[in-house]
A = this chain, B = another copy of it.
Amino acid sequence: MMENKGYIQVYTGNGKGKTTAALGLTLRAICAGKKVFLGQFVKGMRYSELKAVEYLHNLTIEQFGKNCFIYNEPTQDDIDRAIRGLKRCEEVINSGEYDIIILDEINIALFYNLFTSKEVIDILDKKPENTEIIITGRYAPQEIIDRADLVTEMGEIKHYYYKGVKVRKGIEN
């Protein structure tokens, strides 16, 4: 049954809407009775979206980053956290407990070489057949794009940050 098979989707590019699309996918999937795991790499901030678990009981969110972005070089702590996060996601994927697993900003972890594309692809290759995987973050490496079934690139045509608009609670985070 083609419809029950799980695919690998990638949302990349420098435009707004990647994590946002993953959140939208989450909402739609939960409305259809599915169970979703959202793992956030390189993020440990108290975003508004973390409250979503209060509304959506079939949603689990775990964060694997720190309370700030990586500047310049990642520290050993950044690497350790990311590797632990990847191991955790591997367990979650293999458990077959979730219909959809979101590896949010995993492309950024790859960009900083916190682990390798090969490690990620090895996990994807062993995923249960019905599990859908959503990968987000700018700079998706070519190997991930090649492995994915669907790839959307969010292109920034116009952004209000250039106008001096600041990050707003409930809109950007």
Contact of A150 among B13, B31, B159 (CB under 8 A): B159
Binds B, one of A1-9, A68-76, A83-91, A117-125: A1-9
Chain B proximity mask over A18-42: 1 for CB below 8 Å, otherwise 0: 0111111111111111100000000
CA distance A149 to B156 in the complex (A): 11
The distance from the CB of A36 to the nearest CB of chain B, in whole angstroms, is 10
> Which residues of chain B are near A100, meaning CB under 8 Å?
171
Is the beta-carbon distance between B164 and A132 smaller than 8 angstroms?
no
Is the beta-carbon distance between A152 and B25 smaller than 8 angstroms?
no
Q: Is A163 an interface residue (CB 8 A)?
A: yes
Q: Counting chain B CB atoms within 10 Å of each CB, which of A150, A168, A173 scores highest?
A: A150
Residues of A with Cβ closer than 8 Å to B? 2-3, 5, 7, 9-11, 13, 15-17, 19-34, 47-52, 55-56, 99-100, 132, 145, 148-160, 163-166, 168-171, 173
> Which residues of chain B are near A50, meaning CB under 8 Å?
31
The distance from the CB of A32 to the nearest CB of chain B, in whole angstroms, is 3
Is the beta-carbon distance between B49 and A27 smaller than 8 angstroms?
yes
Is the beta-carbon distance between A25 and B28 smaller than 8 angstroms?
no
Closest chain B residue to A20, Cβ basis: B24
> Which residues of chain B are near A29, meaning CB under 8 Å?
48, 170-171
Is the beta-carbon distance between B166 and A2 smaller than 8 angstroms?
yes
